[in-house]
Structure 1
Amino acid sequence: MRHLAMREPRITGRRALAAVAAGLIAAAGLGVNAQAAPAAPAPVPARPAAAPGHQGLALTPPMGFNNWNSTHCRDEFDESMVKGIADLFVERGLKDAGYEYVNLDDCWALPERDADGRLVPDPKRFPNGIGAVADYVHSKGLKFGIYTSAGTKTCSDIGFPGALGHEYGDARQFADWGVDYLKYDNCNNQGVDAKQRYTTMRDALAATGRPIVYSICEWGQNKPWEWAGELGQLWRTTGDISDSWSSMSSIMKANLALAPYAHPGGWNDPDMLEVGNGGMTDTEYRTHFSMWSVMAAPLLIGSDLRTAPESAFDILTNDEVIAVDQDPLGRQGEVVSSEGGRWVVSKELADGGRAVALFNEGSRAQRIETTARAVGLPQARGYAMRDLWKHSDAGTTGTIAATVPAHGTVLVRVAADRKWAQYPPAVDVSADGDTVTEAGRTERITSRVTDLGGSAAHSVRVALTGPEGWRVTPRSATSARALEPGGTLATDWDVTVPEGTSAGDRDLTLTARHRTRSGAWVTSAVPVTVRVGVPLPAGRTALSDAGPLSSSNGWGPVERDRSVGESQAGDGGPITVGGREFAKGLGVHAPSSVEYYLGGACSEVTAQVGVDDESGDRGSVAFEVWADGTRAASTGTVTHADPALAVLADVSGADVVRLVVTDAGDGVDYDHADWADLRVTCV
């Protein structure tokens, strides 16, 4: 079934179940804003034996294509599209990069079986039949996959024939067509035990004698990671992904908690890739691809490659990142730390090294640091480090650090190396973070360039540039003849924000340049975020009338004086809690965070909070008010059945107030939340 991790109440049918992802996050202790490294996982039972029959399948995570994320059941899903994808796999180097499966999803069949109980391909979509399409895919040196459900009907609103009660006949039909991969969904299952349903199809596939990769799409409802390794080669761990940051990141965090269950021939599946569909930035798509690779997840392209931008191909064909995913040791990356949204995830590799992801969950650039020992490497004098997106090498004495943009990921490959000092030194470039100021003010920012390697960085130069109209003036040295190992060039800068600048985060660019021992020049550029606030007027003010410093939302945008509706701004209804309508406030959807600048001049924030009535009989959230990193108020769990609850938070002296809504630990299920009558009192 396809249902979003973050969903809106007006969507029915395919999104009718609660998302599993956020519930797994809560169960694993990995909250939306985790403040500490998670505890060591509980002991995991011995991994189950591989599925009988076709041993040796999917010894590395499957790579390929599935049409669902880009087409759903629309008319463009047809024989021409499938053949076009196969052509592009060859023409654009995807086949050479390791992608091999071209898979159909739902809607390929007619709504009814024939008189003999056989599935009938839709003659409009596939006029030459499924076997002919499979033959075409095979002619390109690729493999072919198909879809059905472990129920009486599939998951589309139309409801095409499912395989429950027809397993052996359908499996035989798939084998006769030349199918190499089966995605087996979970809709309309009539309450039949999940393991029983998926075992029957396992046996039916084995009876055909054809090696068919078996993808168990059970959405994680019955903890398939504990039993599906006996049946198939991959199992879905969460609800369906959608093309949004909140969906992708919540699913990622849920899947990270299941690292001990992945192994060659058995993979945790956090769902398909959204790269190229347009709902996220390229930075977020690189995080998506990096983290799926670190998690040893199947890499199934979910965009229509015939119309995808060139940037999508650049991401999808990064062979160094793919090599991390396809590493033959078959380990899934494990969380080392996650404090303050600064995630470090380490994946053990077959060569003894580690792939290390520095992932910034936050909405502003952050410096993330770890060590070679912390990520599992042995004690050594030094280590070789390869940046898999920059494709550059460096040597480090053990510190692994980078300034990572908002929602970005730096992915490096690190190993102990006796020749580490011969590599160019790793150079860490960073600056003070979380600077808060106002238009017209001048703030002091200190940047640092540090040599982390075993040789000197020569002719070091540093520059800080701001948006147009900003004045940036160095107040100390901006160059050094050389930085010896461990040395730092610290530079003070006065940054003046132009009058009239509106509220919000602004990125400056810190650029450092140095020459290596070989004479080569290395340039690094990192973002430096300055937070610009606009003072609130004296008296009692509705915060929905002010511009926020930042905002994030689980579904759609944060709405002013409206509830959250669909995915577009302004499409919500009146803010209504417990039958009471409010003219002012914010409509949000968990998980959500909205920040406002107070400048130390305000005393209290008040609101009436609750789950919006549009959620019906669903939804449970928790509201929190944070003042400069200190929690000033919290509600505990608030459900759809509760009336509006009064909140009063003391924010005296705080520069920034942050309004947080979480899913209350039970998963994200129509969690529309309202900060009704949200007001602040200032002097």
Structure 2
Amino acid sequence: MRPHSPLTPPRARRRMAGALSAALLCTAGLTAGPAAARTAEAAAGAGPAAAPARGPASPHAPRLPDGLAKTPPMGFNNWNSTHCRADFNEAMIKGIADLFVEKGLKAAGYEYVNLDDCWAEPERDANGKLVPNAARFPNGIKAVADYVHSKGLKFGIYTSAGTRTCAQAMPGALGHEYSDARQFADWGVDYLKYDNCNNQGVDAKQRYITMRDALKATGRPIVYSICEWGENKPWEWAADVGHLWRTTGDISDVWESMLTIFKANAPLARYAGPGHWNDPDMLEVGNGGMTDTEYRSHFSLWSMMAAPLLIGTDLRKATPATYEILANREVLAVDQDALGKQAEVLASEGGRWVLSKPLAGGDRAVALFNESDRPQRIATTAKDAGLPQAGGYRLRDLWKHRDTHTGGEIAATVPARGTLVYRVSADRQWPQYPPAVETGIARDPAPVEIGTEARLGTLTRNLGQAPALDVKIGLKGPQGWRVEPVTPTEDAALPPGRTLATAWKFAPPAGAKPGAYELTLTTDYRSPRGQRVTDALAVPVYAVVPPPAGTSYASDLTPVTATNGWGPVERDMSVGGPQAGDGVPLRIGGVPFAKGLGAHAPSDITYYTGGRCSTFAAQVGVDDETGDRGSVSFEVWADGQRVADSGKLTGTDPAKTVSASVAGAGTVRLVVLDGGDGVQFDHADWADARFSC
């Protein structure tokens, strides 16, 4: 719930917040049982009417009011975009409600407008009631709820199953469950997010069951979102407690965070269904920390996983591209499908993922997800996706909003960090659609030295049951680049199953700057019925210069690629946090280093050496900024061969010398892995890193 810290990830902070002593628990007048919690609530001034006497709840009690959350909840929550800043206020929430209507989000299915932490004053009133923050909500919470309801939308609120909320900004509900639930109902609350901070060690199941019973006692239908970060495996017990449960720690607006959460939530498909959903946390789409391609993957994967879709960006500032992603009704239909199935992972190897989600009516949603930093071919079949045998299949591309057909193969070259989503049908009308044609590259192009020429092979294959006619292949480079075909680029007819292979040569101009560029590969063809289809694929290429003769520090060279588990790779400073340049001088085991790279597991930094370097060496270790925490290992790879491995290093270890022969290698990769215990505090330094060339 709180902003990320480079030193203390939110999940770790929350654990510390909940691990207070038994003495503090006694001081607070709390025990582990719901009856005792209600007694404490009455003593705090909630009054007998707000806390009717009841026996302990059965762990197998019916779910909260039947009929709620038949599909994953969709709406908005302010936390990811505002945290506790002053711009989280009544005007913002009303503005979001207005935009839901004006921008078509309500019509697309979004209905909840939810408050997160910091909406209340720091202390309760003399009667033990929660008090809306006067500066943020001068007209009170009910007035805001009434406004949201006037738009035909629903209203949600936040509190924590502890003595304080996660931002420490307001009182939690522990010991006040019945009073708080009654307040929420009286205000017109339709959705409660119930967090896990400052829980005083009280049993998680009991804390969440107590609030479940308190919500039921109000008689108002309230969707109940359990936010205990997956620490007690709520997917195994919470289906009779709440409507959705967090399966992971907090998401942040970086690719690695989204990817880690996806990988944790994806295996839990069997626990999800109508009225009880796995929740991998709110959407970051539009907050600026990822590209639109990455945001489309984020949105696609959450929809495939039947996840709740709570918009986490300030829609008053959102770009047209953000609205286009959030309002894609065809992808939303996958998330909201009445069957309520979460996608199963069919394959995951080498960063290539295939997911299949059964849909009501017999169709399947199939996602091809490429987690890597280069385009990759990903393939499956209609049979493997769970569809019956058929003469042909309709492929509906849910991002391009286009129909083609296939004889059974579902394959594409998926852009780096991209996701393609298809709705696949065993449709007898498949002949009316154009054949699906797959276009990609034969292999990743090697880095090309500026002023020299390189070669590239492209492949175009017909996956359909009818010929692709008048096929034309094109390749275009940035301005000033020379791109020429070596072999024919056209075919009058490409029969089913046949491939057109084309060779190209290209060269960056002599004055080009080193770095990443894109070639655009296009395919144009028509179907036997005359339908014209055009596709484009971005092919990343890297223009490089060889390292100079002598010894060069890695931080003074330009890497070909650099990926990092937290924030960007930093030059001559630690990784710090999510923003560039927010680190501190490198220091390992108390020893400072003026030069080097600040990284964070998992990390992969590739340099072009062009066969001109003989050795690489560095002093490696966990940066002192972690406070002796963290555990990592460092590896050096030369042209795909591992040539050095530091072994596991922790925050208590001094710097270790790593050196390797890289003679003859065209590229050298510097890799950081976690030490086998997750990536918290894994700030890893390549100190004094240098090449001899």
Partner of 1:628: 639
Superposed CA deviations along residues 295-349 of structure 1, whole A, max 9, x for unmatched, are: 1100001111112111111111100000000111111112222222122222121
Q: Is the 8 A contact 2:485 2:503 kept in 1?
A: yes
The aligned amino acid for 2:299 is F
Q: CA, structure 1 residues 454+500, in 2 after alignment: closer, same or farther (shift >3 Å)? A: same
User: Helix, strand or coil: the match of 2:368?
Assistant: strand
Shift of 1:162: 0.4
Q: CA, structure 1 residues 519+330, in 2 after alignment: closer, same or farther (shift >3 Å)? A: same
Do residues 80 (structure 1) and 85 (structure 2) align? no
Q: CA, structure 1 residues 12+265, in 2 after alignment: closer, same or farther (shift >3 Å)? A: closer
User: Helix, strand or coil: the match of 2:284?
Assistant: coil
Do residues 476 (structure 1) and 487 (structure 2) align? yes
CA distance in 2, matches of 1:116, 1:645: 60
For residues 44-443 of structure 1, what are the structure 2 equivalents within 5 Å?
A: 51-157=62-168, 159-436=169-446, 437-443=448-454
User: Helix, strand or coil: the match of 1:614?
Assistant: helix
Partner of 1:22: none
Q: Is the 8 A contact 2:11 2:249 kept in 1?
A: no
Q: CA, structure 1 residues 129+98, in 2 after alignment: closer, same or farther (shift >3 Å)? A: same
Q: How high is the TM-score relative to the length of structure 1?
A: 0.92
CA distance in 1, matches of 2:270, 2:662: 43
Q: Is the 8 A contact 2:162 2:172 kept in 1?
A: yes
User: Helix, strand or coil: the match of 2:118?
Assistant: coil
For residues 455-494 of structure 1, what are the structure 2 equivalents within 5 Å?
A: 455-494=466-505
Superposed CA deviations along residues 10-45 of structure 1, whole A, max 9, x for unmatched, are: x688973589xxxxxxxxxxxxxxxxxxxxxxxxxx
The aligned amino acid for 1:2 is R
Partner of 1:45: none
Q: Is the 8 A contact 1:51 1:232 kept in 2?
A: no
| Between 488-497 and 647-656, the greater mean CA deviation after superposition | 647-656
Partner of 1:559: 570
Q: CA, structure 1 residues 75+635, in 2 after alignment: closer, same or farther (shift >3 Å)? A: same
Shift of 1:245: 1.5
Q: Is the 8 A contact 2:271 2:277 kept in 1?
A: yes
User: Helix, strand or coil: the match of 2:540?
Assistant: strand
Do residues 639 (structure 1) and 637 (structure 2) align? no
User: Helix, strand or coil: the match of 1:602?
Assistant: coil
Q: Is the 8 A contact 1:542 1:677 kept in 2?
A: yes
Q: Is the 8 A contact 2:10 2:249 kept in 1?
A: no
| Between 561-570 and 341-350, the greater mean CA deviation after superposition | 561-570
The aligned amino acid for 2:2 is R
Q: CA, structure 1 residues 332+53, in 2 after alignment: closer, same or farther (shift >3 Å)? A: closer
CA distance in 2, matches of 1:161, 1:604: 58
Q: How high is the TM-score relative to the length of structure 2?
A: 0.91
| Between 285-294 and 119-128, the greater mean CA deviation after superposition | 119-128
User: Helix, strand or coil: the match of 1:59?
Assistant: coil
CA distance in 1, matches of 2:271, 2:649: 34
Shift of 1:172: 0.9
Identity of aligned residues (%): 66
Higher RCO (CA 8 Å, separation ≥ 6 residues): 1
Q: Is the 8 A contact 2:449 2:545 kept in 1?
A: yes
Aligned residues: 650
Q: Is the 8 A contact 1:3 1:15 kept in 2?
A: no
Q: CA, structure 1 residues 358+617, in 2 after alignment: closer, same or farther (shift >3 Å)? A: same
Q: CA, structure 1 residues 626+354, in 2 after alignment: closer, same or farther (shift >3 Å)? A: farther
Q: Is the 8 A contact 1:3 1:239 kept in 2?
A: no
For residues 499-538 of structure 1, what are the structure 2 equivalents within 5 Å?
A: 499-538=510-549
CA distance in 2, matches of 1:664, 1:238: 20
CA distance in 1, matches of 2:622, 2:426: 53
Partner of 1:452: 463
Q: CA, structure 1 residues 314+12, in 2 after alignment: closer, same or farther (shift >3 Å)? A: closer
CA distance in 2, matches of 1:50, 1:545: 63
User: Helix, strand or coil: the match of 1:257?
Assistant: helix
Q: Is the 8 A contact 2:14 2:166 kept in 1?
A: no
Shift of 1:421: 2.8
Shift of 1:653: 3.0
Q: Is the 8 A contact 2:75 2:114 kept in 1?
A: yes
CA distance in 2, matches of 1:313, 1:471: 37
Do residues 545 (structure 1) and 568 (structure 2) align? no
User: Helix, strand or coil: the match of 2:338?
Assistant: coil
Q: CA, structure 1 residues 234+547, in 2 after alignment: closer, same or farther (shift >3 Å)? A: same
Q: CA, structure 1 residues 382+654, in 2 after alignment: closer, same or farther (shift >3 Å)? A: farther
Partner of 1:601: 612
Q: CA, structure 1 residues 77+514, in 2 after alignment: closer, same or farther (shift >3 Å)? A: same
Shift of 1:218: 0.3
User: Helix, strand or coil: the match of 1:312?
Assistant: helix
User: Helix, strand or coil: the match of 1:286?
Assistant: helix
Partner of 1:39: none
Q: Is the 8 A contact 2:64 2:243 kept in 1?
A: no
Do residues 16 (structure 1) and 27 (structure 2) align? no
CA distance in 1, matches of 2:530, 2:390: 27
Shift of 1:603: 3.3
CA distance in 2, matches of 1:362, 1:239: 23
User: Helix, strand or coil: the match of 1:447?
Assistant: strand
User: Helix, strand or coil: the match of 2:147?
Assistant: helix
Shift of 1:407: 1.5
Q: CA, structure 1 residues 12+243, in 2 after alignment: closer, same or farther (shift >3 Å)? A: closer
CA distance in 1, matches of 2:137, 2:14: 31
CA distance in 1, matches of 2:11, 2:679: 16
Q: CA, structure 1 residues 520+288, in 2 after alignment: closer, same or farther (shift >3 Å)? A: same
CA distance in 2, matches of 1:431, 1:625: 28
CA distance in 2, matches of 1:430, 1:462: 11
Q: Is the 8 A contact 1:235 1:268 kept in 2?
A: yes
Partner of 1:27: none
The aligned amino acid for 2:13 is A
User: Helix, strand or coil: the match of 1:179?
Assistant: coil
User: Helix, strand or coil: the match of 1:152?
Assistant: coil
Q: Is the 8 A contact 1:535 1:599 kept in 2?
A: yes
- Please list every run of 5 or more consecutive structure 1 residues that lacks an aligned counterpart in the other structure: 20-47
Partner of 2:2: 2
Q: Is the 8 A contact 1:3 1:241 kept in 2?
A: no
Match for residue 680 of structure 2 among 669, 674, 677: 669
| Between 418-427 and 267-276, the greater mean CA deviation after superposition | 418-427
Match for residue 596 of structure 2 among 585, 592, 615: 585
CA distance in 2, matches of 1:623, 1:373: 42
CA distance in 2, matches of 1:12, 1:432: 41
User: Helix, strand or coil: the match of 2:316?
Assistant: coil
Q: Is the 8 A contact 1:2 1:15 kept in 2?
A: no
- Measured on the aligned residues, the alpha-carbon RMSD in Å equals 1.9
CA distance in 1, matches of 2:157, 2:118: 11
CA distance in 2, matches of 1:101, 1:257: 27
Partner of 1:613: 624
Q: CA, structure 1 residues 489+58, in 2 after alignment: closer, same or farther (shift >3 Å)? A: same
Q: CA, structure 1 residues 334+630, in 2 after alignment: closer, same or farther (shift >3 Å)? A: farther
- Please list every run of 5 or more consecutive structure 2 residues that lacks an aligned counterpart in the other structure: 17-58
CA distance in 2, matches of 1:638, 1:371: 44
